[in-house]
Amino acid sequence: MRPHEAAVLRDIVLVGGGHSHVGVLRAFAMRPVPGVRITLVCTDAHTPYSGMLPGYVAGHYGYDDVHIDLSRLAVFARARFICAEVTGLDRAQRTVLLRDRPPLHYDLVSINIGSTPQVQMVPGAARHAVAVKPIYQFNQRWLALRERISAHPGRNTIAVVGGGAGGVELTLAMQYALQAVLREQGRDIGDLVFHLFTADATILPTHNRAVQRRFDAVLAQRGVLVHRDCAVDEVQAKRLRTRNGQWVEVDEVVWVTQAGGAPWLRETGLALDERGFIRVNDFLQSVSDERVFAVGDIASMDSRALEKAGVFAVRMAAPLTRNLRRSLSSQALVPYRPQRRWLALISTGDRYAVASRGALSFAGSWVWRWKDWIDRRFMRRFEAFPAMDNNNPLIGNTSTLALSAEESLQAASLLAMRCGGCGAKVGASVLSGALAGLVPVAREDVIIGLHAPDDAAIVRVPPGMALVHTVDFFRSFVDDPYVFGQIAANHALGDIFAMGATAQSATAIATVPPGLEDQVEDTLRQMMSGAVKALDAAGCALVGGHSGEGSELALGFAVNGLVDASLQGVMRKCGMRAGELLILTKPLGTGTLFAAHARLAARGRWIQAALVSMCQSNQAGAQVLKEHGATACTDLTGFGLLGHLVEMTRPSGVDARVDLSALPLLAGAQECVAQGIVSSLQAANLRLRQSLRNQESFLAHPRYPLLFDPQTAGGLLASVPAERAPACVAALQAAGYTHAAVIGMVLEQDAASTSIVLAD
Ligand SMILES: Cc1cc2nc3c(=O)[nH]c(=O)nc-3n(C[C@H](O)[C@H](O)[C@H](O)COP(=O)(O)OP(=O)(O)OC[C@H]3O[C@@H](n4cnc5c(N)ncnc54)[C@H](O)[C@@H]3O)c2cc1C
């Protein structure tokens, strides 16, 4: 028996990576609450900081200057990051509903999802206008718009609908950026015509007269045609109609008008205001559910109407953090008192800005520099993190948490010495709850499986077939249990597909960190749902398993596959022939990327792309390789490219050449190894460099370390007759392996033992 280190007693789920939640995560990172697990769910790994968005559009900032990397921030906060879309709340079950994956348990949930454009209220707007919200998708929409203007010769007319600070700033920033594009192309900037439509009598209606006058002057001087008292009531392709019936010919319409709450909120039963925003009290708590908090644009305070501005969302982070902490221990909550006046620094696109505060206004290039300084200082808080010791936020004195009598009993047993042996099994009710919704694929050859649970599963081997056995197991290296489940299953299935077999059945072995029953059940459900998704897609029935408590989340599978008993169609490692070409189906780099992720040195988008690659099955790839006459095949896992290649060349009695420049790499992999960040397994893999014939010339090559990078759920490496290789790569790419490439050639063996030659 051993004492337990960490137990999950409470779950806080942060929905949306808005301006408040980034502050909450940072605050919890600095001062975690023992026993509390935080999960951030957001549609994107990078969230834009609205204050710098116009500067980004104008071209003064790069993408990473204005986006907060949520995946990296979550690592710093030791929070789980789930890149997914929230589609609802089941308040009775206390779960957050997610698109295409199982619901997520919460004890407290906070919503910071910004606002949603109300384009559906104006006919044609949803179809023909470029909406600035949701803000996370705006980058793609803006880049696409810039591309269209760049490719459209002659006159381009752009209409911006919305005369608030966002609309005015965006108009001027877009004009600045697009004029630069036209100048670069040697075109006349007079070909760019901007219209700004506002339903109000003035632009910037929430700002003082002096600010309005300054912007009237700037817009006039920059030739922007401002239409006041002119609501747009219909949009069609290439034209829009104003309320007074006038049609205006336009090439682009950008929609920056007042927005509302996300439609899914209506199904939650939460009290909403007339625009669909969540009504909150002074504690930023839903007026209809004390477990639900809302902040930023999506919140509507009952006591005071606030402008929908990022500045409030930022300020709400501290009171929200305080109230989440207090809620956990049933302490009285503290009201949030929004400032009466706030400073807005509104830019004009050309490194010039106007300050607005109450009745005050001033302007200048220095105001822009000041704004730039404030904004960059804000962003640094989420870029450069203070050094923290490695304390696990789940460890420590959990006595401050308010628990029910039943939960206190469970918690006391978690803190006591925990049993080993069968005493460490996950409880029966937790297990059945977690597995209840799983639907393993039904197969006729599964006689006794999870549909009729027994002491063991019974599976028939069809006549004329032989069984292929394999087993894999590893601890989680990602904080999202659903994605981890998919990857673990995919990784285990990789051996079956690499042999040219079809997957038949699997048994799982899992360890889950201790916690209250709800928390453990949720983790197990997430992980096994992910695993079953991958197994089902492969036609592989999950027929049983075993789960126990462990200090870390871990999952493995014993998988059975089937091949023809004559071994026809089997792809072994030993069949390579000189002259054949080496094909790799997926990009390399998972080892270095996840080592960098743990050290806060990887970008969130690199990690998300790597996860997508790891979740891609090798099933279709193996089929394509088989159809193109592959003579040998293996799946890339822990030993890295070189290790697995040598495992193929040795029994085949051949040498091989690897073209470093042809290696497909995951985004960011080369940057990570350039920083000297490698997986802990790299050192062991490096021993295989003795098999390299000419490594001296390549030691400094930027891709050299990636030869030894251990892969999780990596691609297939195969040897294919040279004449069939181009068609094979094309077929692999068509099947979704977009990085598939020829990476070298099989050579005659030159010396007594096999060797690998590097080329550039
Ligand atoms: C061009 C422009 C310039 C602006 N400039 C300023 C400015 O200078 N100063 C200022 O104070 N305000 C400014 N604003 C207003 C500002 O954009 C908003 O007030 C601010 O973004 C609101 O922040 P938020 O935290 O509520 O939400 P957001 O910043 O919109 O963040 C919402 C987050 O939730 C995520 N999300 C949304 N839906 C879901 C879902 N269903 N599931 C999971 N995740 C989800 C999104 O990916 C995003 O990460 C500007 C607005 C515009 C349009």
DSSP label at 266?
A: G
Helix then strand then coil, in percent of the chain rounded to 5, is 35, 25, 35
Dihedral of alpha carbons 382, 143, 43, 335, sign: positive
The average confidence (pLDDT) of the chain is 92
Distance (angstroms) between ligand 1 centre and the Cα of 276 equals: 16
Q: Which atom of ligand 1 is nearest to 70's Cα? A: 49
Judged by DSSP in three states, 590 sits in helix
| Structure-token match 């394999």, residue found | 470
Closest residue by Cα to residue 354 from 365, 339, 340, 338: 365
DSSP label at 675?
A: T
Distance (angstroms) between ligand 1 centre and the Cα of 309 equals: 8
d(CA 31, CA 66): 26
Closest residue by Cα to residue 109 from 290, 240, 238: 290
Distance of CA 122 to the CA centre of its chain: 32
Q: Which residue CA neighbors atom 29 of ligand 1 most closely?
A: 18
One-letter amino acid of 209: R
Please identify every residue annotated as catalytic.
422
For the stretch 539-552, pLDDT in tens is 999 999 998 888 89
Residue in 25, 69, 113 to alter for ligand 1 test, most ligand atoms within 8 A of Cβ: 113
Bridge partner residues of 515 (DSSP): 8
Distance (angstroms) between ligand 1 centre and the Cα of 743 equals: 44
Tell whether omega for the bond before 134 is within 30 degrees of 0, i.e. cis: yes
Distance (angstroms) between ligand 1 centre and the Cα of 134 equals: 7
Helices (H) and strands (E) in the chain, counts: 21, 39
Q: Which atom of ligand 1 is nearest to 57's Cα? A: 1
Q: Which residue CA neighbors atom 31 of ligand 1 most closely?
A: 18
d(CA 49, CA 47): 7
Distance (angstroms) between ligand 1 centre and the Cα of 337 equals: 21
Q: Which atom of ligand 1 is nearest to 310's Cα? A: 11
Q: Which atom of ligand 1 is nearest to 41's Cα? A: 43
Instruction: Please list the alpha-helical segments (H only) found in 159-275.
Output: 165-184, 209-221
Distance (angstroms) between ligand 1 centre and the Cα of 310 equals: 7
For residue 429, the number of C-alpha atoms closer than 13 Å in the C-beta half-sphere is: 4
DSSP label at 557?
A: E
Instruction: Write out residues in the chain with pLDDT < 70, as ranges.
Output: 1-6, 134-136, 388-396, 415-426
Distance (angstroms) between ligand 1 centre and the Cα of 440 equals: 40
Q: Which residue CA neighbors atom 2 of ligand 1 most closely?
A: 166
Distance (angstroms) between ligand 1 centre and the Cα of 55 equals: 15
Rounded to 5 degrees, what are φ and ψ at 19? -65, -25
d(CA 52, CA 295): 20
Q: Which two tokens stand for residue 69?
A: 């990397």
Distance (angstroms) between ligand 1 centre and the Cα of 48 equals: 7
- Burial of residue 454 (number of CB atoms within 10 Å: 0-12, 13-18, 19+): exposed
The residue ranges of DSSP E strands in 270-343, in sequence order, are 278-280, 292-294, 299-301
Residues flanking ligand 1, CB < 6 Å: 15-20, 41-44, 47, 50-51, 53-54, 85-86, 112-114, 132, 134-136, 166, 169-170, 256, 262, 296-298, 308-311, 313
Distance (angstroms) between ligand 1 centre and the Cα of 135 equals: 6
Residue in 19, 24, 96, 135 to alter for ligand 1 test, most ligand atoms within 8 A of Cβ: 135
Q: What pLDDT score was predicted for residue 1?
A: 31
Q: Which residue CA neighbors atom 1 of ligand 1 most closely?
A: 166
Distance (angstroms) between ligand 1 centre and the Cα of 371 equals: 18
Distance (angstroms) between ligand 1 centre and the Cα of 425 equals: 45
Q: Which atom of ligand 1 is nearest to 135's Cα? A: 30
pTM for this model (two decimals): 0.93
Q: Which atom of ligand 1 is nearest to 308's Cα? A: 19
Rounded to 5 degrees, what are φ and ψ at 552? -130, 155
Q: Which atom of ligand 1 is nearest to 138's Cα? A: 53
Q: Which atom of ligand 1 is nearest to 264's Cα? A: 41
Q: Which residue CA neighbors atom 16 of ligand 1 most closely?
A: 310
Distance of CA 172 to the CA centre of its chain: 32
Instruction: Encode burial over 121-140: b for 16+ CB neighbours within 10 A, e otherwise.
Output: ebebbeebbbbbbbbbebbe
Closest residue by Cα to residue 233 from 100, 121, 84: 121
d(CA 416, CA 406): 16
Q: Which two tokens stand for residue 569?
A: 């169609």
For residue 697, count other CB atoms closer than 10 A to its CB.
11
Q: Which atom of ligand 1 is nearest to 312's Cα? A: 11
Check: CB of residue 581 under 8 Å from CB of residue 557: no
* Helix (H), strand (E) at residue 67: strand 67-69
Going from the C-alpha of 278 to that of each of 94, 265, 301, 308, 326, the distances in angstroms are 18, 8, 8, 13, 21
Residue in 15, 24, 50, 293 to alter for ligand 1 test, most ligand atoms within 8 A of Cβ: 50
Q: Which residue CA neighbors atom 49 of ligand 1 most closely?
A: 17
Distance (angstroms) between ligand 1 centre and the Cα of 37 equals: 25
Q: Which atom of ligand 1 is nearest to 299's Cα? A: 26
Q: Which two tokens stand for residue 362?
A: 């001033």
